[in-house]
Copies of this chain bind each other. A is one copy, B any other.
């Protein structure tokens, strides 16, 4: 079967690029002696995740549904890397009783108290990481904050005995705003140093705190030192996208994901091609709008994945895309109705989430496989 045999829009995954991206980070991290714990929130697919490694690969997830799905598919060592809500503890317990080696995170005393009480009452072995805020980006407690030790004090269990402090976790969200390799290196060092410092303070306070977990796709690719770090997390690197290209982490030719669409009409005076991939297919993510080069809703390739110079998806309605020349609409090639195009997305996590499956190719236009993916929370 060929791409031309499919109804559009479709989510296309180039397996050759996927495998190359996976190998690149594996090779890059090998000398550091750290564990890689991929974040599967990007791919939400057992088929994609199998390319990352067997079911003994430690995983990071962003929802308990991801944890449950990957547990169902054989993975057991799972880190749920969003601050625990006490109301989700019964769900976490069900996963642990079914065999998950689930680690959770939190960043405040109230949650630590609720988690410790629940794990104690239910006799659960529940490792906990304290989330550290190393760049002011989102959640987490600062490495030097007094609250850090107070939170740790709530987690005085030991492995096998209730909730216990397994270590610390941080994420350099600010690394997405970097514009140079030097800036990413600086973010990576800030991420590392802050996490290690927090772990040292907890250890000085009597905790074993063996785990120091850091990571983001940019910092994982450019960190110069990972001293004191035990594991690195990254997610979008398996696909890459235009935001990561804008940060300087990948070439456009590394991006493994695109959306296949069909030209359905024209506005010739305006230099517009109208396609059947709108924001429902691409997502509303306009992550490159804040970068030096705004890519609209994405760059445009031909059916075989070859970039068409200066053609971008400039605007979107729910099921309509507007494609034109980036600079001068008079230069837009008036491709005939029925032409297949592939749009390279701003943000792989957001675009992939709009689809129920990946249509897999290997560099060409022949369909190799169909890999389902899931969505939702409950």
Cα–Cα distance between A85 and B87 once the two chains are bound (Å): 47
Residues of B within 8 A of A88 (CB): 7
Q: Given contacts A264-B83, A284-B286, is CB(A9)–CB(B377) below 8 Å?
A: yes
With contact pairs A110-B336, A322-B138 given, residues A378 and B10 touching in the complex (Cβ less than 8 Å): yes
Is A350 interfacial (CB 8 A cutoff)? yes
- Tell me the minimal C-beta distance from A140 to chain B in angstroms: 8
Q: Whole-angstrom distance from the CB of A84 to the nearest CB of chain B?
A: 7
**In the complex, which of the residues B173, B317, B337, B377 contacts A86, with contact meaning CB atoms closer than 8 Å?**
B337
Of the listed stretches A25-33, A116-124, A273-281, chain B binds A273-281
Cα A350 to Cα B279 in complex, Å, equals: 9
Residues of B within 8 A of A319 (CB): 41, 62-63, 82
Cβ of A292 within 8 Å of any chain B Cβ, yes or no, is no
The reply to whether A110 and B337 contact each other, CB–CB distance below 8 Å, is: yes
Interface residues of A in 127-147 (CB under 8 A from B): 133, 136, 138-139
Set B286, B318, B336: member contacting A349, Cβ < 8 A: B318
A3 to chain B, nearest CB (A): 11
In the complex, A45 has a CB within 8 A of chain B: no
**Complex CA–CA separation, A9 to B87 (angstroms):** 12
Count of residues in A whose CB is under 8 Å from the partner chain? 64
Which of B85, B281, B377 contacts A264 (CB under 8 A)? B85
A111: nearest chain-B partner, CB-CB: B337
A317 touches B83 (CB 8 A): no
Contacts A64-B7, A87-B8 given; indicate if A173 touches B138 (C-beta within 8 A): no
Q: A138 to B274: give the CA distance in the assembly, Å.
A: 8
Distance of A6 Cα from B377 Cα, bound (Å): 11
Q: Which of A328-366 contact B (CB under 8 A)?
A: 336-338, 347, 349-350, 353-357
Most buried by B among A63, A139, A350: A139
Give the complex CA separation of A64 and B377 in angstroms: 26
- Chain A residues engaging chain B, CB cutoff 8 angstroms: 4, 6-10, 41, 62-64, 82-88, 91, 106-108, 110-111, 114, 133, 136, 138-139, 173, 262, 264-267, 270, 274, 276, 279-281, 283-286, 317-320, 322, 336-338, 347, 349-350, 353-357, 375-378
Interchain Cβ contacts under 8 Å between A and B, 15 examples? A6-B378, A8-B87, A82-B276, A82-B319, A82-B320, A83-B264, A83-B265, A84-B264, A86-B337, A87-B262, A108-B266, A139-B264, A281-B377, A284-B347, A318-B349
